[in-house]
Structure 1
Amino acid sequence: MKGHYSDVWQAVARAVPQRPAVVTPAETMTYGRLLAEAGAFARYLRERGVQPGEAVAMLLYNRPEYVVGLFACLATGIAPVPMNYRYRAPEVRALLEDSRARVLVYPTSLSDVVRDAVAHWPDAPMFVVIDDGPAGEIAAPDAAHSGTRILTRDGEYSLGSANTHSAWADVVAGGGELPATPPPGGELRLYTGGTTGRPKAVVWGAEDILAVQSYSIYTTAGLPVPESMAEAIAVASDPAIPRVVTLPLSPFMHGTALFTSMNTLVLGGTVLVIASPRFDPDAAARFAVDAGATRLIVAGDAVALPLVEAVERAGLDGFGRVNSMISSGMRFSPAVKRRWHAHAAITITDLLASTEGGPYAVNETTSVADLPGELRLLPGAVVLDDELRDVQHIAGGRGVLAFRGTLPKGYFGDEEKTRATFPVIDGVRHVMPGDWAVARGDGTVELLGRGSAVVNTGGEKVYPAEVEDALVAFPGIVDAVVFGVPDLRYGELVTAVIVTGPDAELDAEALRAHLDARLAGYKKPRHLFVRDSLERSPHGKVDLPRLQAELAPLVGSDAPTGTMRIRR
């Protein structure tokens, strides 16, 4: 079904304006209010000359304003660009430059990060600031943006120019309307990365996403896929169809949480939002039950394990109205699934997907008896051998997973990487994320692993080259290698082995401060080993399998997140 999210959302908002669209523990945003605030933000962007095809960056944790901004951008052909709120100033600056964002939306709690990111930057974007409590100061990038900008408690600024900073409350109070239908050519840009550690935005055509997501929208809700936009709008507005109430416990900056929440609104459902940058499993469990959540979005064991522990602590019989759980991009172990199935009648959908395309396969379980389950290929997914031939129908066929359905346009501003990641095979465009699998010949596969060195820790991708560069930039460190070691909760732990100079004395606290200024907390090594040599081969290679096997028994996840243990 071809169509546009904005068209469905607008139709639902006009049909059932009082229905809850976004709910937090403190407030309810109806579909009518969502439409009105999206119209106001769209008007603000037009007045400041932001054109279709240009970008608005959102440095936000899950908040109602996130949904409003996404709606406004998609409806006007402006590209929304979610950014990782855990990033430090240099990382934020790099993404703002790469995305060429005209506007940055961020909360006051991140003022210090934004201040440092835009310091001495004449071409810094305009800012829309959401007051979430703590005040901060934004220094003028240069004389062209003169005037000290001090954030006050009511969300306003003392500005040298009204065109550079605006308070979100003032923006939405100004009113405005969305266009009746979006202009053609709109995009959604989701940042992912590569083995070089340099993030790249995957560009999805706004008109394509709805077709790609049809399986996730309707099949997982037990509904037939509509054949037209009129049918989709009728389904969303029909009061006889039970409403989906989704609680994303992974961040909107991740494709699964973002798309599933967008899909919930296509069904006329409600998105529950815990407006906090920190995951509190006990609060999340209470909110899920009290707000009547029917669907949870998690990031494998990293979220599902502490959440089920909270359910057990609370002594809950069942888990309210929750009947489904969706996870993607992170190890979700049979042991943790078993605990969930033992507590409630929940269907667990464990997806293998990537920002670049898919989903490729799904492991769906409905009870303890289904475990461990099977990874079943989804329509459009194939297994390609070394000769790029389909082998998914052959028992024992070994190759790389690929997808050849509707795909993104490619990577923003990187044609070379686009051609490499989205090859045309026999006249058909594919995407191959690098996952190797063995086919069983019955539509299921056994996943062998990813052929790259990317570390997946708690659902976050960490690219070793970026961490290694930060390590060797520290005085006294002359060599470094970074890799992942298995961990039951987080999937993998970031681990580093470094070599220091012959007379160097490692100042552990200074190293921690050095890395903290350059890397998000989840990127920092949880375990760091100091050695005399990495025993590189004549070609400069490190025997990673040997190192991983040697160090795996010495590491564990008992250290608090963001800490680093240094051992010699």
Structure 2
Amino acid sequence: MEYNHADLFEGVADAIGDRVAVVCGDRRLTYAELDEHANRLAHHLESAGVRPGQHVAMQLYNGVEYAAALLAALKIRAVPINVNYRYVESELLYIYKDSDSVALLYDVEFEDRVAATVPEAPKLTHLIAVGGAPSIDGAVPYDEALAAQPGTRGFPARSADDTYIIYTGGTTGMPKGVMWSTEQMLLAFWNPTFPRPEKPEDVVDLARNGGPMIMMPIAPLMHGAAQMATWIAWFMGATLVYARKFDAAGIWRTIEREKVNSLTITGDAMAIPMAEELARGGYDTSSLLAFVSTGAILTGTVRDRIQGLLPNTMILDRFGSTESGSTAEATAGSTPEKGLKFAPDVENVTVLDDALQPVKPGSGVIGQVARTGYIAHGYYNDPEKTARTFPVVDGKRWLLTGDIATVEEDGTIAVYGRGSQAINTGGEKVFPEEVEAVLKGHPGVYDAVVTSVPDERWGNRVAAVIQPSGERPSAEELDAHCRKELSGYKVPRVYAFVPEMKRSPAGKADYRWAKQVAGEADGG
């Protein structure tokens, strides 16, 4: 057995085959049933000519098929590729070609976009349609693909160095494929409440001895956070519950029906509608022990509201990235409004200054959060970005996360925001996350994204795109609200109001869109 996700899942399935592995809607598969399901898909991919090291793309909503596709690709030593299902044709063509995918599983709901794009991606030669009969010539219906193959294994030996890729980003540019070895990924995203395994068999023992935990990641599986939550759940021997699409009422009904113990979301964009729905009442949440945000931080007002609605549930903020794994947890009372502080819960996490040297605790020196040890090994098809992001210092390879921070006297890391999103106005740096958090504290603001517009005198001015909550607040109201919490140079000078905020399916802000909207509001 290797530190390989397919090896480990098969070991877990052999140990606890009768335990329920995945639930989505009215579908329930045990570990043994899911393993057999994935075996059939893996054999189909082999029969279609997919070979070790080749890439299999997944343009799917959450469900059993996505879970099986991840497993099937890894079983034959192929590489899973996540595709954002909201992408339009030009974006799809980019990711099909950039990823060098040779096969694609897609929901038939996306068939028009797939049909228009696939002919321009010559390497993408095999299509599997999920959820209905395809109209694309040569595409194979998912159920037929499985029915023609055996449910047994019989796959070649795998390696701990097999590749796993997660495409990430896209808020300021096109996404990049983050490359991991399966061993490094497993250990980087290991559940910090358990000691890391000393050998692969320890993972199977943990699952075998695990209790009947029910875990539910809300983010779409095309986002790395949901994929990692999936593996964490399975390697604990837990039952994994998916929602096919994000629907706050449906999620609370599922939590009540399945007695979910741990819920994972990504930030305010999911937390706010879930809190509003929960406030309407009528849901039994007594089973819920933990409400975890990962991939995006909860603002203080949103966190407090959720805690008030779920007084007996732990509310946790996790810090990390697709490139670094899960690295830290927000300290008590830490919020973007008051100052975001994290306590590292893994080794080899620090802040490096401009000379790529560790920042001395309490010095006040500003640098970037960095990690060494268990980290990704680069970006697919982008050696230049790989070299910039993963420098070697004194023989040690580091990941520079792009998060601007310093180290406090007690060793906690105070994070100011993403360097790539920082706004330079008159020589002062403004981090959008801080301003967004303050704006969301106004009762008339449902959601906010902060960006900049050009300014002849100051270089840039702070601008805010606002989705109102009910009656639209005036710019004067928002200005007065912000000035109570922020220095004058951080207060937005431009407000643009929109009926609905544009975010990724995982809740991440679309800063390119926000900059365009703010520019139009400014008359640019």
Distance across 2 between alignment mates of 1:2 and 1:490: 47
Contact 2:367 2:406 in 1 (8 A): yes
Gaps in structure 2 of 5+ consecutive residues: 424-431, 465-489, 504-512
| CA-to-aligned-CA distance 1:242-291 (integer Å, 9 cap, x gap) | 23222111111222211011110111111111123xx2101111101211
Secondary structure class of the residue paired with 2:384? helix
Gap change, CA 1:165 and 1:52, over 3 Å in 2: same
What amino acid maps onto 1:294 in structure 2? N
Asked if structure 2 preserves the Cα contact closer than 8 Å seen for 1:384 and 1:402, the reply is yes
Give, as a single letter, the amino acid of the residue that structure 2 aligns with 1:246: M
Where in structure 2 are the equivalents of 1:210-221 lying within 5 Å?
Answer: 210-214=186-190, 216=191, 219-220=192-193
Q: Is the 8 A contact 1:437 1:448 kept in 2?
A: yes
What is the CA–CA distance in structure 2 between the aligned matches of 1:490 and 1:353, rounded to whole Å? 26
Deviation at 1:193, TM superposition (A): 3.6
Q: How far apart are the structure 2 equivalents of 1:306 and 1:298?
A: 12
Aligned-pair distance for 1:546? 4.9
Equivalent residue number for residue 554 of structure 1: 495
Identify if the C-alpha distance between structure 1 residues 306 and 9 changes in structure 2 by more than 3 Å, giving closer, same or farther.
Answer: same
Given that 1:73 and 1:80 are in contact with CA atoms closer than 8 Å, whether structure 2 keeps it comes out as: yes
User: Cα distance, 1:374 vs. partner?
Assistant: 4.2
Which residue of structure 2 lines up, in the alignment, with residue 35 of structure 1? 35
Other structure's SS at 2:399 match: coil
Structure 1 SS opposite 2:401: coil
Amino acid corresponding to residue 98 of structure 2 in structure 1: D
Q: Give the alignment partner of residue 386 of structure 1, picking from 354, 367, 370.
A: 354
In structure 1, C-alpha distance between the alignment counterparts of 2:334 and 2:311, rounded to whole Å: 9
Aligned length: 463
Q: CA shift at 1:346, angstroms?
A: 2.0
C-alpha RMSD of matched pairs (Å): 3.1
Structure 1 residues 460-501: Cα deviation after superposition (integer angstroms, max 9, x where no partner):
xxxxxxxxxxxxxxxxxxxxxxx997352887527686xxxx
The 3 A distance-change label for structure 1 pair 121 and 230 is: closer
Secondary structure in 1 matching 2:421: coil
Distance 1:226 1:358, change over 3 A: closer
1:10, CA displacement in angstroms? 0.7
Please give the alpha-carbon distance, in whole angstroms, between the structure 2 residues aligned to 1:420 and 1:195. 19
Aligned counterparts of 2:402 and 2:177: Cα–Cα separation in 1? 18
Shift of 1:427: 0.9
Aligned equivalent of 2:24: 24
The superposition leaves residues 130-179 of structure 1 with CA deviations (integer Å, 9 ceiling, x where unpaired) of 016xx7643xxxxxxxxxx3xxxxxxxxxxxxxx4211111222233332
Once residues 61 and 418 of structure 1 are traced to their aligned partners in structure 2, the CA distance between those partners, rounded to angstroms, is 30
Residue number in structure 1 paired with 2:149: 175
> Does the C-alpha gap of structure 1 residues 560 and 199 become closer, same or farther in structure 2, counting only changes over 3 Å?
closer
Q: Give the counterpart letter for 1:187 in structure 2.
A: T
Q: Secondary structure at the match of 2:280?
A: helix
* TM superposition shift of 1:180: 6.7
- 1:181 positional shift: 4.3
For 1:374 and 1:123, locate their aligned partners in 2 and report how far apart those are by CA, in whole Å.
45
* Alpha-carbon separation, structure 2, partners of 1:339 and 1:2: 44
Of 198, 202, 207, the match for 1:227: 198
TM normalised by structure 1 equals: 0.74
Counterpart in the other structure of 1:6: 6
TM-superposed CA distance for 1:414, in Å, is 1.7
Q: How does 1:49-64 map to 2 (within 5 A)?
A: 49-64=49-64
Could you tell me which residue of structure 1 aligns to residue 249 of structure 2?
282
Which residue number in structure 2 is paired with residue 493 of structure 1?
Answer: 449
Q: 1:228 Cα deviation (Å)?
A: 2.4
Q: Which range is displaced more, 12-21 or 289-298?
A: 12-21
Aligned with residue 323 of structure 1, among 278, 286, 289: 289
Match among 209, 223, 228 for residue 254 of structure 1: 223
Structure 1 residue 34, shift from structure 2 partner? 0.8
Cα distance 1:226–1:199, how it changes in 2: closer, same or farther (>3 A)? closer
Q: 1:437 and 1:491 mapped to 2: Cα distance?
A: 25
Q: Which residue of 1 aligns with 2:378?
A: 410
Structure 1 residues without counterparts, runs of 5 or longer: 139-148, 150-163, 456-482, 498-533
Partner of 1:506: none
For 1:86 and 1:232, locate their aligned partners in 2 and report how far apart those are by CA, in whole Å: 35
Matches within 5 A, 1:108-123: 108-119=108-119, 122-123=122-123
Q: Secondary structure at the match of 2:369?
A: strand
The corresponding residue for 2:130 is 130
The answer to whether residue 140 in structure 2 is matched with residue 166 in structure 1 is yes
TM-score, reference length from structure 2: 0.80
Q: Distance in 2 between matches of 1:550 and 1:185?
A: 48
Residue 409 of structure 2 aligns to a residue in which SS?
coil
Q: Note the alpha carbon deviations across 1:295-314, whole angstroms, 9 max, x for none.
A: 11101111112112212212
Distance 1:89 1:494 in 2: 28
Contact 2:8 2:203 in 1 (8 A): yes
